[in-house]
Chain A
Amino acid sequence: MRGRPVLGVLSGFLFGLFAGVTLFLYGVVPLASSTLWILPIVGVLFGLVMAWWAPFGGGSATKEPAAAVDDD
């Protein structure tokens, strides 16, 4: 993958977990909702998609070494 899959999986899981907890704490979903365990899974998948897609630049392609200059 061109992006960062480990970061995507870990952050995606925690993103889904915290999002579910936030939705429950603010009264959007009940405690027994399947949302609370589905969101971490969706987060992991989202992270993997981001790592595969890698739409953001950040790495530069390896440059060709400069040709040697002949001082003679």
Chain B
Amino acid sequence: MTSLVRARAVPVATAAVATALLVLLFAPPARAEVFQGGCTGSASFENAGVTVTEKQPLSDPVTILPEDSVRYAGSTGQPETSDPVPFEGGITVALPLGNWTFVTWGGESTKTSAEGDYAYTLPGFVPRGTGPVEVTATHEQGGQTCVVAASFQVEGSPGPLGVGAAAGTALFAAGTLAAGVKKRGVA
């Protein structure tokens, strides 16, 4: 009886853990606007015809083009100072585990606002048509910390990368099922 209980404990425990993970997997993520501080800002993607502001909901992804020209403007909402004050900030992408900061800035300035134009072209290895990517911008200046986050998607389709991922899924699904083939000499 003891060996029978032990033999059944493994699949029962495995099924319980798998169920808990699947519940977590399909639980809807808590999404809300992320907006901290008194900063205001906007980014107008000229060819995509979209404008993102600090009030853009995370639940409403912005679709951008692989290459475009962006007219940006931002302000901390504070008056300009006579003496330069330090500032720093950065842009972070949320990953499945952790975050990746790919742009940082810092220095000293008397100005509390900025505007300009920026043209970009995404590298070819950046996949198109994927799920939303959460991008967070942080700026600290004059004792104020501003945080704003928005979700972006790149227009297009995954192409060969998606086909390869789907093929890998099918291949290793077959391998997983093959684990259920009895070993030689086992009844």
Show the binding face of A for B, using Cβ within 8 Å. 2-5, 7-8, 10-12, 14-15, 18-39, 41-43, 45-62
Instruction: Check B176 against A8 for contact (C-beta < 8 Å).
Output: yes
CA A43 to CA B173, docked complex, whole Å: 9
Q: Which of A22, A38, A52 has the most chain B CB within a 10 Å cutoff? A: A22
Instruction: Check B179 against A50 for contact (C-beta < 8 Å).
Output: yes
Count class of interface residues, chain B: 35 or more
Residue of A nearest to B133 (CB): A31
- B97 located at the interface, meaning its Cβ lies under 8 Å from any Cβ of chain A in the complex: yes
Known: A12-B179, A22-B165, A52-B11. A42 touches B18 (CB 8 A): yes
Point out the residues of chain A lying under 8 angstroms from B24, CB to CB: 34, 38
Residue of B nearest to A53 (CB): B180
Q: How far is the CB of B132 from chain A (nearest CB, A)?
A: 4
Instruction: Check A48 against B14 for contact (C-beta < 8 Å).
Output: yes
Instruction: Check A58 against B11 for contact (C-beta < 8 Å).
Output: no
Q: How far is the CB of A3 from chain B (nearest CB, A)?
A: 5
